[in-house]
Copies of this chain bind each other. A is one copy, B any other.
Amino acid sequence: MENFELSCPIQKSNFDRVLLAHGSGGTLSHNLVKDIFLPYFGNNYLNVLHDGAILNNSNKKLAFTTDSYVVNPLFFPGGNIGDLAINGTVNDLAMCGALPKYISCGFIIEEGFLINNLIEIIKNMKIAADKAGVKIVTGDTKVVENGKGDGIFINTSGIGFIDEGINISANNCKPGDVILINGFIAEHGMAIMSVRNGFEFESPIISDTAALNGLVADMLNVSKNIHVLRDPTRGGIASTLNELAESSNVGILIDENTIPISDTVKAACEILGFDPLYVANEGKLIAFLAPEEAEKVLGVMKTHPLGIHSRIIGEVVCENQGMVIMKTEIGSSRIVDMLTGEQLPRIC
Protein backbone atom coordinates (compact mmCIF):
# COMPACT_ATOMS: atom_id res chain seq x y z
CA MET A 1 0.00 0.00 0.00
CA GLU A 2 1.17 3.49 -0.78
CA ASN A 3 2.60 5.49 2.08
CA PHE A 4 0.42 8.53 2.66
CA GLU A 5 2.62 10.40 5.13
CA LEU A 6 3.06 13.90 3.76
CA SER A 7 6.36 15.66 3.59
CA CYS A 8 5.87 18.96 5.37
CA PRO A 9 5.26 21.89 3.00
CA ILE A 10 6.67 25.28 3.96
CA GLN A 11 4.55 26.89 6.67
CA LYS A 12 5.16 30.56 7.13
CA SER A 13 2.14 31.81 9.03
CA ASN A 14 3.11 34.62 11.38
CA PHE A 15 0.23 33.87 13.72
CA ASP A 16 -0.38 31.25 16.39
CA ARG A 17 -4.12 31.71 16.38
CA VAL A 18 -6.82 32.49 13.87
CA LEU A 19 -7.93 36.14 13.99
CA LEU A 20 -11.26 37.56 12.89
CA ALA A 21 -9.29 39.35 10.17
CA HIS A 22 -8.39 35.96 8.65
CA GLY A 23 -11.99 35.99 7.45
CA SER A 24 -11.98 39.53 6.10
CA GLY A 25 -11.38 38.83 2.44
CA GLY A 26 -8.27 41.02 2.62
CA THR A 27 -4.54 40.37 3.02
CA LEU A 28 -4.82 38.05 6.01
CA SER A 29 -7.47 35.88 4.30
CA HIS A 30 -5.28 35.80 1.24
CA ASN A 31 -2.23 34.78 3.30
CA LEU A 32 -4.15 32.10 5.17
CA VAL A 33 -5.02 30.49 1.86
CA LYS A 34 -1.58 30.95 0.34
CA ASP A 35 0.50 29.96 3.38
CA ILE A 36 -1.58 27.22 4.96
CA PHE A 37 -4.16 25.80 2.57
CA LEU A 38 -2.33 25.82 -0.75
CA PRO A 39 0.91 24.16 0.45
CA TYR A 40 -1.18 21.10 1.29
CA PHE A 41 -4.15 21.27 -1.06
CA GLY A 42 -2.52 22.94 -4.10
CA ASN A 43 -3.38 21.45 -7.50
CA ASN A 44 -4.02 22.80 -10.98
CA TYR A 45 -7.69 23.39 -10.26
CA LEU A 46 -7.34 25.03 -6.86
CA ASN A 47 -4.27 27.13 -7.64
CA VAL A 48 -6.27 29.38 -9.97
CA LEU A 49 -7.91 30.79 -6.82
CA HIS A 50 -11.06 31.75 -8.65
CA ASP A 51 -14.28 31.55 -6.62
CA GLY A 52 -15.17 28.32 -8.35
CA ALA A 53 -13.26 25.47 -9.94
CA ILE A 54 -13.63 24.68 -13.62
CA LEU A 55 -13.51 20.94 -14.01
CA ASN A 56 -13.28 18.29 -16.63
CA ASN A 57 -16.54 16.51 -17.17
CA SER A 58 -17.48 13.16 -18.57
CA ASN A 59 -20.84 12.34 -20.09
CA LYS A 60 -21.73 10.02 -17.23
CA LYS A 61 -24.42 10.72 -14.66
CA LEU A 62 -23.29 13.02 -11.85
CA ALA A 63 -23.50 12.36 -8.13
CA PHE A 64 -23.46 15.43 -5.86
CA THR A 65 -23.42 15.45 -2.07
CA THR A 66 -22.76 17.71 0.91
CA ASP A 67 -22.05 17.21 4.61
CA SER A 68 -21.07 19.52 7.43
CA TYR A 69 -18.84 18.11 10.15
CA VAL A 70 -19.15 19.37 13.73
CA VAL A 71 -17.57 16.42 15.56
CA ASN A 72 -16.46 17.00 19.15
CA PRO A 73 -13.64 16.39 20.08
CA LEU A 74 -11.88 17.47 16.88
CA PHE A 75 -9.14 14.86 17.39
CA PHE A 76 -10.04 11.31 18.45
CA PRO A 77 -8.52 7.82 18.34
CA GLY A 78 -8.27 6.84 14.68
CA GLY A 79 -8.87 10.22 13.11
CA ASN A 80 -9.90 13.85 13.32
CA ILE A 81 -12.46 16.20 11.82
CA GLY A 82 -10.25 16.60 8.74
CA ASP A 83 -10.05 13.02 7.48
CA LEU A 84 -13.60 12.42 8.70
CA ALA A 85 -14.79 15.29 6.45
CA ILE A 86 -13.06 13.81 3.40
CA ASN A 87 -13.98 10.18 4.07
CA GLY A 88 -17.60 10.98 4.91
CA THR A 89 -18.24 12.84 1.68
CA VAL A 90 -16.31 10.33 -0.41
CA ASN A 91 -18.50 7.64 1.15
CA ASP A 92 -21.74 9.48 0.37
CA LEU A 93 -20.67 9.57 -3.29
CA ALA A 94 -19.62 5.91 -3.21
CA MET A 95 -23.05 5.04 -1.76
CA CYS A 96 -24.57 6.51 -4.95
CA GLY A 97 -22.44 4.04 -6.89
CA ALA A 98 -20.30 6.93 -8.10
CA LEU A 99 -16.58 7.23 -8.58
CA PRO A 100 -15.76 10.18 -6.28
CA LYS A 101 -13.69 12.80 -8.07
CA TYR A 102 -13.87 16.41 -6.83
CA ILE A 103 -14.25 17.82 -3.30
CA SER A 104 -14.95 21.33 -2.00
CA CYS A 105 -14.10 22.49 1.53
CA GLY A 106 -15.86 25.22 3.50
CA PHE A 107 -14.30 26.12 6.84
CA ILE A 108 -16.05 28.02 9.64
CA ILE A 109 -13.35 28.76 12.17
CA GLU A 110 -13.75 30.27 15.63
CA GLU A 111 -11.55 33.26 16.34
CA GLY A 112 -8.59 32.14 18.45
CA PHE A 113 -8.39 28.63 17.01
CA LEU A 114 -4.79 27.40 17.06
CA ILE A 115 -3.08 27.65 13.67
CA ASN A 116 -1.16 24.46 14.47
CA ASN A 117 -4.40 22.56 14.93
CA LEU A 118 -5.68 24.00 11.65
CA ILE A 119 -2.52 22.81 9.90
CA GLU A 120 -2.84 19.35 11.44
CA ILE A 121 -6.45 19.10 10.21
CA ILE A 122 -5.61 20.32 6.72
CA LYS A 123 -2.67 17.91 6.50
CA ASN A 124 -4.97 15.03 7.35
CA MET A 125 -7.54 16.18 4.80
CA LYS A 126 -4.87 16.11 2.13
CA ILE A 127 -3.68 12.64 3.16
CA ALA A 128 -7.27 11.35 3.18
CA ALA A 129 -8.03 12.95 -0.21
CA ASP A 130 -4.92 11.40 -1.78
CA LYS A 131 -5.73 8.02 -0.31
CA ALA A 132 -9.29 8.16 -1.67
CA GLY A 133 -8.12 9.47 -5.04
CA VAL A 134 -10.15 12.70 -4.93
CA LYS A 135 -9.04 16.27 -5.63
CA ILE A 136 -9.87 19.25 -3.40
CA VAL A 137 -10.73 21.80 -6.06
CA THR A 138 -12.43 24.77 -4.39
CA GLY A 139 -12.87 26.17 -0.90
CA ASP A 140 -14.00 28.96 1.37
CA THR A 141 -13.04 30.17 4.84
CA LYS A 142 -15.13 32.16 7.27
CA VAL A 143 -14.13 33.24 10.77
CA VAL A 144 -16.66 33.87 13.55
CA GLU A 145 -16.06 35.62 16.86
CA ASN A 146 -14.80 33.75 19.90
CA GLY A 147 -17.80 32.10 21.57
CA LYS A 148 -19.89 32.03 18.36
CA GLY A 149 -18.54 28.74 17.07
CA ASP A 150 -16.66 25.75 18.49
CA GLY A 151 -13.12 25.55 17.17
CA ILE A 152 -13.80 24.52 13.60
CA PHE A 153 -16.71 23.27 11.52
CA ILE A 154 -16.00 21.85 8.06
CA ASN A 155 -18.36 21.41 5.15
CA THR A 156 -17.27 19.19 2.30
CA SER A 157 -19.27 18.76 -0.87
CA GLY A 158 -18.37 16.29 -3.56
CA ILE A 159 -18.91 15.34 -7.18
CA GLY A 160 -18.57 11.88 -8.66
CA PHE A 161 -19.47 10.11 -11.88
CA ILE A 162 -21.67 7.04 -12.19
CA ASP A 163 -20.95 4.28 -14.70
CA GLU A 164 -23.74 3.20 -16.98
CA GLY A 165 -25.84 0.27 -15.78
CA ILE A 166 -25.57 1.17 -12.12
CA ASN A 167 -28.87 1.98 -10.47
CA ILE A 168 -28.44 2.35 -6.73
CA SER A 169 -31.16 4.17 -4.83
CA ALA A 170 -32.70 4.30 -1.35
CA ASN A 171 -36.04 3.05 -2.71
CA ASN A 172 -34.55 0.04 -4.44
CA CYS A 173 -34.69 -2.62 -1.67
CA LYS A 174 -36.54 -5.64 -3.03
CA PRO A 175 -38.15 -8.53 -1.13
CA GLY A 176 -35.69 -11.40 -1.13
CA ASP A 177 -32.63 -9.14 -1.13
CA VAL A 178 -29.89 -10.13 1.27
CA ILE A 179 -28.23 -7.45 3.41
CA LEU A 180 -24.45 -7.33 3.71
CA ILE A 181 -22.20 -5.31 6.02
CA ASN A 182 -18.43 -4.94 5.69
CA GLY A 183 -17.41 -5.32 9.35
CA PHE A 184 -17.76 -4.39 13.01
CA ILE A 185 -20.35 -1.78 13.96
CA ALA A 186 -20.42 1.16 16.38
CA GLU A 187 -16.67 1.80 16.43
CA HIS A 188 -16.70 5.47 15.46
CA GLY A 189 -19.39 6.47 17.93
CA MET A 190 -17.85 4.58 20.81
CA ALA A 191 -14.37 5.95 20.04
CA ILE A 192 -15.82 9.46 20.41
CA MET A 193 -17.87 8.63 23.49
CA SER A 194 -14.94 6.96 25.23
CA VAL A 195 -12.86 10.12 24.81
CA ARG A 196 -15.71 12.36 25.93
CA ASN A 197 -16.36 10.26 29.00
CA GLY A 198 -12.68 9.82 29.81
CA PHE A 199 -12.98 6.02 29.72
CA GLU A 200 -9.92 3.91 29.16
CA PHE A 201 -10.45 0.38 27.97
CA GLU A 202 -7.78 -2.31 27.87
CA SER A 203 -7.44 -1.74 24.13
CA PRO A 204 -8.64 1.72 23.10
CA ILE A 205 -11.58 1.91 20.71
CA ILE A 206 -10.45 3.30 17.36
CA SER A 207 -12.81 5.10 14.97
CA ASP A 208 -13.41 3.16 11.77
CA THR A 209 -13.28 6.35 9.63
CA ALA A 210 -12.22 5.29 6.15
CA ALA A 211 -13.00 5.97 2.50
CA LEU A 212 -15.11 3.14 1.13
CA ASN A 213 -14.90 3.99 -2.57
CA GLY A 214 -12.22 1.37 -3.25
CA LEU A 215 -14.30 -1.36 -1.63
CA VAL A 216 -17.40 -0.24 -3.53
CA ALA A 217 -15.47 -0.25 -6.81
CA ASP A 218 -14.43 -3.86 -6.17
CA MET A 219 -18.04 -4.81 -5.37
CA LEU A 220 -19.45 -3.12 -8.49
CA ASN A 221 -16.73 -4.78 -10.50
CA VAL A 222 -18.20 -8.22 -9.79
CA SER A 223 -21.86 -7.13 -9.77
CA LYS A 224 -23.48 -4.06 -11.27
CA ASN A 225 -26.71 -5.32 -9.81
CA ILE A 226 -26.42 -3.92 -6.28
CA HIS A 227 -29.80 -2.42 -5.34
CA VAL A 228 -28.90 -0.19 -2.39
CA LEU A 229 -25.71 1.00 -0.73
CA ARG A 230 -25.77 3.07 2.42
CA ASP A 231 -23.24 4.08 5.07
CA PRO A 232 -24.84 3.84 8.52
CA THR A 233 -23.40 7.00 10.11
CA ARG A 234 -25.45 9.14 12.57
CA GLY A 235 -28.17 7.03 14.11
CA GLY A 236 -26.30 3.78 13.34
CA ILE A 237 -27.52 0.78 11.38
CA ALA A 238 -30.92 0.94 13.10
CA SER A 239 -31.73 4.37 11.67
CA THR A 240 -30.34 3.56 8.23
CA LEU A 241 -32.33 0.33 7.97
CA ASN A 242 -35.49 2.09 9.14
CA GLU A 243 -35.07 4.81 6.52
CA LEU A 244 -34.61 2.19 3.83
CA ALA A 245 -37.59 0.10 5.00
CA GLU A 246 -39.68 3.24 4.78
CA SER A 247 -38.42 4.58 1.47
CA SER A 248 -38.56 1.18 -0.26
CA ASN A 249 -41.80 0.22 1.51
CA VAL A 250 -40.55 -3.21 2.54
CA GLY A 251 -39.89 -5.10 5.76
CA ILE A 252 -36.33 -5.69 6.92
CA LEU A 253 -35.40 -8.69 9.02
CA ILE A 254 -31.99 -8.81 10.72
CA ASP A 255 -30.39 -11.44 12.90
CA GLU A 256 -28.68 -10.19 16.07
CA ASN A 257 -26.33 -13.19 16.11
CA THR A 258 -24.80 -12.21 12.79
CA ILE A 259 -24.23 -8.51 13.44
CA PRO A 260 -20.49 -8.07 13.81
CA ILE A 261 -19.45 -6.21 16.95
CA SER A 262 -16.17 -6.38 18.83
CA ASP A 263 -16.08 -7.40 22.48
CA THR A 264 -14.51 -4.08 23.47
CA VAL A 265 -17.23 -2.05 21.74
CA LYS A 266 -19.91 -4.30 23.21
CA ALA A 267 -18.49 -3.78 26.70
CA ALA A 268 -18.19 -0.02 26.20
CA CYS A 269 -21.80 0.17 25.01
CA GLU A 270 -22.94 -1.72 28.10
CA ILE A 271 -20.96 0.49 30.48
CA LEU A 272 -22.08 3.73 28.84
CA GLY A 273 -25.65 2.59 28.24
CA PHE A 274 -25.76 2.68 24.44
CA ASP A 275 -27.44 0.31 22.04
CA PRO A 276 -24.77 -0.37 19.38
CA LEU A 277 -27.42 -0.54 16.65
CA TYR A 278 -27.86 3.22 17.08
CA VAL A 279 -24.20 4.15 17.34
CA ALA A 280 -22.49 5.87 14.37
CA ASN A 281 -20.12 4.18 11.94
CA GLU A 282 -17.78 6.04 9.58
CA GLY A 283 -16.21 3.20 7.62
CA LYS A 284 -19.10 0.80 7.21
CA LEU A 285 -21.53 0.16 4.41
CA ILE A 286 -24.72 -1.82 4.11
CA ALA A 287 -25.48 -3.37 0.73
CA PHE A 288 -28.75 -4.84 -0.55
CA LEU A 289 -28.64 -7.25 -3.45
CA ALA A 290 -30.36 -10.28 -4.96
CA PRO A 291 -29.42 -13.53 -3.19
CA GLU A 292 -27.87 -15.00 -6.34
CA GLU A 293 -25.35 -12.13 -6.40
CA ALA A 294 -24.48 -12.34 -2.69
CA GLU A 295 -21.74 -14.96 -2.71
CA LYS A 296 -19.50 -13.34 -5.30
CA VAL A 297 -19.95 -9.86 -3.81
CA LEU A 298 -19.25 -11.14 -0.29
CA GLY A 299 -16.21 -12.95 -1.64
CA VAL A 300 -14.67 -9.84 -3.14
CA MET A 301 -15.53 -7.78 -0.03
CA LYS A 302 -13.63 -10.19 2.20
CA THR A 303 -10.48 -9.77 0.14
CA HIS A 304 -10.49 -5.97 0.62
CA PRO A 305 -8.71 -4.55 3.71
CA LEU A 306 -11.91 -2.72 4.71
CA GLY A 307 -14.10 -5.78 4.24
CA ILE A 308 -12.31 -8.67 5.97
CA HIS A 309 -15.16 -9.14 8.44
CA SER A 310 -17.96 -8.77 5.89
CA ARG A 311 -21.05 -10.90 6.35
CA ILE A 312 -24.77 -11.26 5.72
CA ILE A 313 -26.85 -9.71 8.51
CA GLY A 314 -30.39 -9.99 7.21
CA GLU A 315 -32.90 -9.98 4.38
CA VAL A 316 -35.76 -8.01 2.89
CA VAL A 317 -39.26 -9.41 3.40
CA CYS A 318 -42.76 -8.59 2.10
CA GLU A 319 -44.44 -8.43 5.50
CA ASN A 320 -44.01 -5.67 8.12
CA GLN A 321 -43.67 -2.95 5.52
CA GLY A 322 -41.69 0.06 6.70
CA MET A 323 -40.39 -1.82 9.75
CA VAL A 324 -37.15 -3.36 10.93
CA ILE A 325 -37.50 -6.59 12.93
CA MET A 326 -34.58 -8.25 14.71
CA LYS A 327 -34.31 -11.90 15.65
CA THR A 328 -32.55 -11.61 19.01
CA GLU A 329 -29.75 -13.76 20.42
CA ILE A 330 -32.24 -15.66 22.54
CA GLY A 331 -34.47 -16.43 19.57
CA SER A 332 -37.31 -13.96 20.10
CA SER A 333 -38.15 -11.07 17.77
CA ARG A 334 -38.27 -7.36 18.47
CA ILE A 335 -39.00 -4.20 16.52
CA VAL A 336 -35.93 -2.02 15.98
CA ASP A 337 -37.38 1.48 15.99
CA MET A 338 -35.90 4.61 14.62
CA LEU A 339 -34.04 6.63 17.22
CA THR A 340 -36.41 9.25 18.63
CA GLY A 341 -34.30 11.57 20.72
CA GLU A 342 -30.65 12.48 20.71
CA GLN A 343 -28.27 9.74 21.68
CA LEU A 344 -24.90 11.07 20.61
CA PRO A 345 -24.73 14.74 19.70
CA ARG A 346 -21.94 15.91 17.40
CA ILE A 347 -20.63 12.49 16.55
CA CYS A 348 -19.67 13.59 13.03
Binding site for B on A (CB under 8 A): 19-21, 23-30, 48-70, 92-93, 95-96, 98, 102, 104-108, 137-140, 142-145, 147-150, 153, 155, 157-162, 169-171, 230-231, 233-236, 239, 243, 247, 278, 280, 338-346
**Across the interface, do A235 and B26 meet the contact criterion of CB distance under 8 Å?**
yes
**Across the interface, do A143 and B345 meet the contact criterion of CB distance under 8 Å?**
yes
**Across the interface, do A66 and B105 meet the contact criterion of CB distance under 8 Å?**
yes
Which 10 A-B residue pairings sit nearest by Cβ, starting from the closest?
A25-B234, A26-B339, A25-B235, A52-B65, A21-B342, A157-B157, A66-B104, A155-B155, A148-B150, A51-B92
A20-B345, A25-B339 known; A108 vs B68 contact (CB < 8 Å): yes
A315 to B: closest C-beta gap in Å: 22
**Across the interface, do B234 and A66 meet the contact criterion of CB distance under 8 Å?**
no
- By secondary structure, the A interface counts as mixed
**Across the interface, do B50 and A96 meet the contact criterion of CB distance under 8 Å?**
yes
**Across the interface, do A59 and B59 meet the contact criterion of CB distance under 8 Å?**
yes
CA distance A346 to B272 in the complex (A): 40
Closest to A140 in B: B67
CA distance A145 to B148 in the complex (A): 11
**Across the interface, do A140 and B66 meet the contact criterion of CB distance under 8 Å?**
yes
Taking A62-B102, A67-B106, A67-B140 as given, write out 7 further A-B residue pairs in contact, using a Cβ cutoff of 8 Å, ordered by the A residue number. Answer: A19-B342, A25-B234, A25-B236, A27-B340, A48-B169, A50-B95, A58-B59
**Across the interface, do B24 and A234 meet the contact criterion of CB distance under 8 Å?**
yes
CA distance A55 to B56 in the complex (A): 16
**Across the interface, do B51 and A64 meet the contact criterion of CB distance under 8 Å?**
no
Ordered by A's residue number, 6 sampled pairs between the chains whose C-beta atoms are within 8 Å are A26-B341, A52-B64, A143-B345, A145-B345, A148-B149, A153-B153
**Across the interface, do B55 and A64 meet the contact criterion of CB distance under 8 Å?**
yes
**Across the interface, do A49 and B159 meet the contact criterion of CB distance under 8 Å?**
no
**Across the interface, do A52 and B140 meet the contact criterion of CB distance under 8 Å?**
no
B residues less than 8 Å from A158 (CB atoms):
52
**Across the interface, do B345 and A23 meet the contact criterion of CB distance under 8 Å?**
yes
**Across the interface, do B155 and A68 meet the contact criterion of CB distance under 8 Å?**
yes
A137 to B: closest C-beta gap in Å: 6
**Across the interface, do B51 and A106 meet the contact criterion of CB distance under 8 Å?**
no
**Across the interface, do B150 and A62 meet the contact criterion of CB distance under 8 Å?**
no
**For A60, A140, A155, A234, which residue has the most chain B Cβ atoms within 10 angstroms?**
A155
**Across the interface, do A52 and B108 meet the contact criterion of CB distance under 8 Å?**
no
B residues less than 8 Å from A93 (CB atoms):
52
